[in-house]
Structure 1
Amino acid sequence: MGTHLENARVFKALCDPKRLAILEQLRSGEKCACVLQEPMDLTQSGLSYHMKILCDSGLVTSRQDGKWTHYRLSEKGREKAVELLLALTTPITDQADNFPPCGR
């Protein structure tokens, strides 16, 4: 399932409204940084900051085309994020049965 630090990167990427808005824009396909920047009212450095977090999480991938960077959603990153959320929120019933309820 990865290390706690790797896992935290996914949740860090998802806990900011601007990054959620960027992910929403990328749902319709690959976008150039300049296209993402304009509607977000972000500076180039502001967009770069958010894109680094999204790319480090694995949810977004990038490619260079001359001086422009293009971003798209990562299918592999999405699958990993879904698996992580399921793993962290699914009780392990075998172990849970071995512990008494809290407060007793």
Structure 2
Amino acid sequence: MSKLKELPLLDPEPVACCEPLSEHSISTADAVALAPAFKALGDPVRLQLLSQIASAADGETCVCDLTPGFELTGPTISHHLKVLREAGLIEGERRGTWVYYRAIPEKMTALARLLVTAETAAAIA
């Protein structure tokens, strides 16, 4: 039995309705749902961990491959991964003694969609 906490994803409907901050004021419900993810990404280690997980060639990476890239202890890396998991940015699956993590694209898209401006949307397109 996995000790990883299953977190509910945001409903696709509220994510689809969220307009960029530059065009519409965010609802209290959406702010409450998205704020923990922004808070989690406010730490440089967690931002780097998410980057490594999201850019993994197979779409997922083993915690054993994440730990050597930092001058931190295993428990500290585990804490940062837990914060990312609880914020709904990553999910993990235990396979034997290792946990494999993958990013949750829907949550990252919701965060990105919120920060888009007309100028950045035009530049991206």
For structure 2, the residue ranges without an aligned partner over 5 or more in a row are 1-13, 15-28, 119-125
Q: Root-mean-square deviation (CA), in Å?
A: 2.0
Of structures 1 and 2, the one scoring higher in RCO (CA 8 A, sep 6+) is: 2
In structure 2, C-alpha distance between the alignment counterparts of 1:37 and 1:63, rounded to whole Å: 17
Amino acid at match of 1:33: V
Give the alignment's TM-score, normalised by structure 2.
0.60
- Checking the alignment, whether the CA contact within 8 Å between 1:32 and 1:68 is kept in structure 2 is yes
How many residue pairs get aligned? The number is 88
Alignment equivalent of 1:23, drawn from 30, 50, 61:
50
Instruction: Please report how far the alpha carbon of residue 82 of structure 1 lies from its aligned counterpart in structure 2 after TM superposition.
Output: 2.4
Structure number with larger C-alpha Rg: 1
- Checking the alignment, whether the CA contact within 8 Å between 1:57 and 1:77 is kept in structure 2 is no
For structure 1, the residue ranges without an aligned partner over 5 or more in a row are 91-104
Q: Name the % identity.
A: 35
- The residue aligned with 1:14 is 41
In structure 2, C-alpha distance between the alignment counterparts of 1:63 and 1:11, rounded to whole Å: 23
Give the alignment's TM-score, normalised by structure 1.
0.71
In structure 2, C-alpha distance between the alignment counterparts of 1:43 and 1:10, rounded to whole Å: 23
- Checking the alignment, whether the CA contact within 8 Å between 1:33 and 1:70 is kept in structure 2 is yes
Instruction: Please report how far the alpha carbon of residue 41 of structure 1 lies from its aligned counterpart in structure 2 after TM superposition.
Output: 2.0
